């Protein structure tokens, strides 16, 4: 075990897909990676919420394989390197993720305190959050598993409900009852009875205490996760949990696995402007609004519109004489819904999945560890893309069996390897890469490199890539 000076370990849980915020949130670029409530993305804001103090370790991030490079880049952009980015081979809900985090952090320090933070929540009063966090850490040191309770504003069925019990200390209480996501009638009864709060989904506990409780109630989860961590493999800056062991782990939330059963549960009632942004309506509720109750983003024109949320990315959106609408425009999709139907967006996502469409999975802009590309035009035997390569980044050394490529530099300087030749190309210069020729594009400069790529051939799919060398250790089947 390696002892560290820091003993509080923030854990960012970033495994969600955010289907209720489609079309902005997609499975390959979910809501925690988007700047929905400020300049930073929700993941970045969660990391920055933690004190920059020697008592706090860098964040441990738990995410899936598809998001690993984006998460690493977003943390780098705010100057917060991760303690580790742990990759779940399959989703297994929050209890296995919490167990993996607790095991990992206890191996760093025996008396580690972990702070489990969903990476897709908004907290507007950060000083108040930090005050409550200090209180939660002190309670965790006394053996409690602490959650933050949020004053309910409606009988919401998407949250766990906490019944406050006897006082432990000022502003902190035992939990008499913990119920995950009750039905509407039960939630209405809780609101009428009083004494209940929403479970925020954030937990603070000594790693050893959480593991002991989980071992008592769900030893099968602890056993599977221990095997997955023992057999984990480092991959660049990432840690890959063993796929076989983790896939064998039962899927369950920490709420069911521990919080509904333990007698160590404690709640701190809080008022720090919390929202889990679980729907477009939730985003409307926390957004700045005009005098008519409208929240807008992008190029929007309104006339006689009330209580609506309108977001546009590419085109002007004009609305006239409507109310209580959600309108969201992206490059490849438009959502129009009554605000009362915000929770039904997930049903549209299921239709897209079952129809074999791609709009639920990714945006027109496809992100890669080196930057991104976006299609501009295409036909039966040609395709035009715009590539952006970050400074210092490079694509894999690769070849294609079915297509040739023509690159034109728009901005920046490109280092192009074309067969046995490597040379620099400046703006307005170009090169042609024949079918089957090994090649690589790199950005040796300090500004973004933009290239127009014209592909031609009998097959133009992204899986026609044979990687001869890849600086990002991607698998042969992984086009991401």
Domain that holds residue 430: 366-469
Residues 161, 182 within the same domain: yes
Instruction: Dihedral sign for Cα 448, 15, 203, 177, please.
Output: positive
CATH code of residue 187: 3.90.550.10
How far apart, in whole angstroms, are the C-alpha atoms of residue 165 and residue 174? 5
- Give tens-digit pLDDT for 213-230: 999 999 999 999 999 999
Residues 173, 301 within the same domain: no
Residues 97, 244 within the same domain: yes
How far apart, in whole angstroms, are the C-alpha atoms of residue 62 and residue 52? 20
pLDDT score for 223:
97
Residues 155, 19 within the same domain: yes
pLDDT score for 1:
38
Whether 285 and 330 have beta carbons less than 8 Å apart is answered as: no
Quick one: average pLDDT of 337-347? 92
The number of beta carbons lying within 10 Å of the beta carbon of residue 451 is: 24
Residues 301, 210 within the same domain: no
Residue 361 is assigned to a structural domain of this protein:
no
Residue 477 has pLDDT above 60, yes or no: no
pLDDT score for 478:
63
Q: Which of 304, 322, 354 is the last residue of a domain?
A: 354
DSSP one-letter code for 31: G
Phi, psi of 472 (to 5 degrees): -110, 10
Q: Which tokens hold the place of 236?
A: 């660049």
Residue 67 is assigned to a structural domain of this protein:
yes
pLDDT score for 52:
85
Residues 221, 315 within the same domain: no
Residues 209, 304 within the same domain: no
- Give tens-digit pLDDT for 68-101: 999 999 999 999 999 999 999 999 999 999 999 9
CA neighbours closer than 13 Å in the CB half-sphere of residue 389: 27
CATH code of residue 407: 2.60.120.10
Residues 220, 82 within the same domain: yes
The alpha-carbon radius of gyration of the chain (Å, integer) is 24
CA dihedral 296, 302, 306, 309 (to 10 degrees): -20
pTM of the model: 0.89
Residue 475 is assigned to a structural domain of this protein:
no
Return all residues near 30 (Cβ < 8 A) that are at least 6 apart: 16, 17, 18, 67, 120
Q: What's the number of domains the chain is made of?
A: 3
Q: Which of 248, 275, 302 is the last residue of a domain?
A: 275
Residue 283 is assigned to a structural domain of this protein:
no
Residue 414 has pLDDT above 70, yes or no: yes
Residue 478 is assigned to a structural domain of this protein:
no
The number of beta carbons lying within 10 Å of the beta carbon of residue 417 is: 19
- Helix axis angle for 207-217 and 94-108, nearest 10°, is 140
Nearest to 159 by CA among 187, 136, 133: 187
- Helix axis angle for 219-230 and 207-217, nearest 10°, is 120
Quick one: average pLDDT of 162-188? 91
Nearest to 313 by CA among 329, 335, 302: 329
Residue 479 is assigned to a structural domain of this protein:
no
pLDDT score for 343:
85
Residue 477 is assigned to a structural domain of this protein:
no
């Amino acid at each position: 075990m390696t002892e560290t000076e820091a003993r509080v370990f923030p854990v960012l849980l970033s495994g969600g897909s955010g289907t209720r915020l489609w079309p902005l949130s997609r499975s390959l670029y979910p809501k925690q990676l988007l700047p929905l409530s400020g300049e930073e993305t929700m993941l970045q804001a969660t990391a920055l919420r933690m004190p920059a103090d020697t008592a706090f370790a860098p964040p441990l991030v738990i995410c899936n394989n598809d998001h690993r490079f984006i998460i690493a880049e977003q943390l780098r952009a705010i100057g917060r390197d991760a303690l580790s980015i742990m990759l779940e081979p399959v989703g297994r809900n929050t209890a296995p993720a919490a167990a993996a985090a607790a095991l990992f952090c206890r191996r760093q320090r025996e008396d580690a305190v972990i702070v489990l933070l969903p990476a897709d929540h908004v907290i507007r009063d950060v000083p108040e959050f930090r005050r409550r966090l200090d209180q939660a850490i002190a309670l965790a040191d006394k053996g409690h598993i602490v959650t933050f309770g949020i004053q309910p504003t409606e009988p919401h069925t998407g949250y766990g409900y906490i019944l406050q019990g006897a006082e432990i200390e000022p502003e902190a209480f035992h939990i008499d009852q913990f119920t995950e996501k009750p039905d509407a009638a039960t939630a209405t009864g809780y609101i009428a009875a009083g004494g209940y709060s929403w479970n925020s989904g954030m937990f603070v506990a000594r790693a050893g205490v959480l593991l002991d409780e989980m071992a008592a109630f769900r030893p099968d989860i602890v056993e599977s996760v221990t095997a997955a961590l023992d057999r984990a493999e480092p991959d660049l800056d990432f840690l890959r949990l063993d796929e076989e062991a983790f896939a064998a782990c039962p899927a369950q939330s920490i709420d069911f696995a521990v919080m509904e059963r333990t007698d160590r549960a404690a709640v701190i009632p809080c008022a720090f402007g919390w929202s889990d942004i679980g729907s477009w309506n939730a985003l409307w509720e926390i957004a700045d609004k005009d005098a008519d109750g409208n929240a807008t983003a992008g190029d929007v024109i309104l006339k006689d519109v009330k209580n609506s949320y309108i977001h546009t990315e590419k085109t002007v959106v004009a609305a006239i004489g409507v109310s209580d609408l959600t309108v969201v425009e992206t490059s490849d999709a438009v959502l129009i819904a009554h605000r009362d139907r915000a929770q039904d967006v997930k049903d549209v996502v299921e239709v897209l999945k079952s129809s074999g469409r791609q709009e639920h999975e990714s945006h027109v802009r496809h992100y890669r560890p080196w930057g991104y590309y976006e299609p501009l035009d295409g036909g039966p035997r040609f395709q035009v893309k715009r590539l952006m390569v970050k400074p210092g980044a490079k694509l894999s050394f690769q070849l294609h069996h079915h297509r040739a490529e023509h690159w034109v530099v728009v901005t920046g300087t490109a280092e192009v390897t074309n067969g046995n030749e490597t040379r620099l190309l400046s703006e307005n210069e170009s090169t042609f890469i024949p079918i089957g020729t090994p090649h690589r594009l790199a950005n040796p400069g300090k500004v973004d490199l933009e290239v127009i790529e014209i592909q031609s051939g009998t097959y133009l799919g992204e899986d026609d890539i044979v990687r001869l060398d890849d600086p990002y250790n991607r698998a042969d089947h992984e086009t991401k």
